[in-house]
């Protein structure tokens, strides 16, 4: 699975524009059924709202895009939200922006700006992350290699997950899947072929605020 940007968690954000409330609710989704259920939930929650506008992008190899203006003038609401998702290059995300009319008409340009700003605020609250397939490796080494490995990892962008100290040093690393060959060659050059990395499978992962999160590898 190729690396892709999405959101970390469900979140909500609100902006006010000329007394109209725009409430953006964001959810990571992997299937259209999830997006439709999410939309139905919010329509029920905000049953008295003027509009419940939405847009989503689902799938990597065959991306499905849907949006609705929900009664707002054509392409002033749903399309601006979808445009934000496209601009941020986000996948597997659904954004619903609920509007409570404040009594002042915003005009075409004002609506586009308001729905775009609300969507962006919602995405910021949800947290944008990059999910990527990584290979996990375990390496045992002499203490003489520890400094070299730490230096190489920092320079190459390898992620050291754990280091155990005993008669030897044991190190667990995460390497982007598409960097596998370069990683193995670098290790061979670094140790004159003495290091024997043990590949321990692949994982879909993303980092947020310095913490790694792991996910099931779904369909593209």
The strand ranges marked E within the chain are 4-7, 11-17, 20-28, 51-58, 64-68, 93-100, 128-141, 159-165, 169-176, 198-208, 211-215
Q: Confidence class of residue 218 from pLDDT cuts 50, 70 and 90?
A: low
Instruction: Return d(Cα 59, Cα 91) in angstroms, integer.
Output: 7
Q: Would you say residue 220 has pLDDT above 60?
A: no
Tens digits of per-residue pLDDT, 44-98?
Answer: 999 999 999 999 999 998 999 999 999 999 999 999 999 999 999 999 999 999 9
Q: Which helix (H) or strand (E) holds 104?
A: none
Tens digits of per-residue pLDDT, 177-210?
Answer: 999 999 999 999 999 988 999 999 999 999 999 8
Tens digits of per-residue pLDDT, 130-171?
Answer: 999 999 999 999 999 999 999 999 999 999 999 999 999 999
Instruction: Return d(Cα 79, Cα 63) in angstroms, integer.
Output: 16
The dihedral region occupied by 75, where left means phi > 0, alpha psi between -120 and 50, and beta the remainder, is: left
Domain boundaries 132-215, CATH class: alpha beta
Instruction: Return d(Cα 158, Cα 149) in angstroms, integer.
Output: 10
Q: Confidence class of residue 40 from pLDDT cuts 50, 70 and 90?
A: very high
Write down the pTM of the prediction. Answer: 0.87
Crossing angle of the two packed helices 78-87 and 107-126, in degrees rounded to 10: 50
The fold of 4-126 is: Ribosomal Protein S5; domain 2 (3.30.230)
What pLDDT does residue 63 have?
A: 94
User: Exposed/middle/buried for 196, CB within 10 Å: 0-12, 13-18, 19+?
Assistant: exposed
Average pLDDT rounded to a whole number, residues 21-47 = 97
Q: Are 56 and 65 in contact (CB under 8 A)?
A: yes
Q: Would you say residue 219 has pLDDT above 60?
A: no
Domain boundaries, the chain: 4-126, 132-215
Task: Count other C-beta atoms under 10 Å from residue 144's C-beta.
Answer: 9
What pLDDT does residue 82 have?
A: 98
């Amino acid at each position: 699975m190729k690396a892709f940007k999405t959101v970390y968690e469900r979140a909500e954000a609100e902006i006010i524009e000329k007394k109209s409330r725009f409430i953006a609710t964001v959810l990571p989704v992997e299937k259209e059924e999830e997006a439709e259920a999410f939309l139905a939930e919010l329509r029920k929650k905000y049953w008295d709202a003027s509009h419940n506008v939405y847009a989503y992008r689902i799938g990597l190899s065959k991306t499905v895009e849907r949006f609705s203006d929900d009664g707002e003038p054509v392409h002033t609401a749903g399309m601006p939200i979808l445009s934000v998702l496209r601009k941020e290059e986000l996948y597997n995300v659904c954004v619903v922006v609920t509007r409570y009319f404040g009594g002042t008409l915003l005009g075409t340009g004002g609506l586009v700006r308001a729905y775009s700003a609300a969507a962006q605020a919602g995405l910021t609250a949800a947290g944008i992350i990059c999910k990527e397939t990584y290979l996990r490796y375990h390496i045992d080494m002499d203490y003489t290699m520890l400094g070299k490995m730490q230096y190489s990892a920092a320079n190459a962008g390898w992620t050291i997950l754990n280091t155990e100290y005993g008669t030897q040093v044991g190190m667990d690393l995460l390497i982007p899947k598409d960097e596998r060959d370069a990683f193995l060659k670098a290790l061979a050059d670094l140790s004159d072929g003495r290091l024997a990395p043990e590949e321990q499978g692949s994982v879909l992962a993303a980092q947020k605020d310095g913490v790694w999160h792991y996910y099931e590898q779904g369909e593209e």
